[in-house]
Amino acid sequence: MRLKHFIIVNATLVVGVFAVGCSKNPSKPPEFSAAFSGENTNAALGAAPPPDPVIPAGTINIIGIELSQFLPLYAEIADSQIDAGQLGKLPPVLIRFRNTNDVSRSEAVQLLDKVLYDQAGIIATHSDAKHVQFKYRSSGSKK
């Protein structure tokens, strides 16, 4: 019971630290003054996407949580809604991961996608920036 509490607290701490880090990097680009004018202004502003928040090394430290606990954490980091309907009953897989380098949010999501594939045999498909669908890599290789 004590280990489970530690894992839940650790996962909650990771999400909290991540959320604070993201709040320092707003998703909206700064407003520009009216000094910019001309027909290429909108094209130039649209070309620069908002900065991707950086997650410091060691911030994501998953010490072996069940897949059912990992998916909500994944959704929080990816800032997406997840669809795990095709997975059915989740297998008793423990997920382990720690980011050893500073990574952007999109890099962290790519690393977590690889973790899901390698440790649980699950493919994450990003239909758009806010939706992720999970399915097993093939019907014959569920873990």
Mean pLDDT of the chain: 75
Domain boundaries of the chain, sorted by first residue: 2-26+37-136
pTM of the model: 0.64
Distance of CA 26 to CAs 58, 88, 101, Å?
Answer: 22, 36, 22
Which residue, 55, 68, 128, 129, is CA-closest to 95? 68
Q: pLDDT tens-digit profile of 80-139?
A: 999 999 999 998 999 999 999 999 999 999 999 999 999 999 999 999 989 999 999 875
Domain 2-26+37-136 has CATH 3.55.50.30: yes
pLDDT of 11 higher than 80: no
Q: How confident is the model at residue 47, as a pLDDT?
A: 63
Q: What is the mean pLDDT of residues 69-84?
A: 94
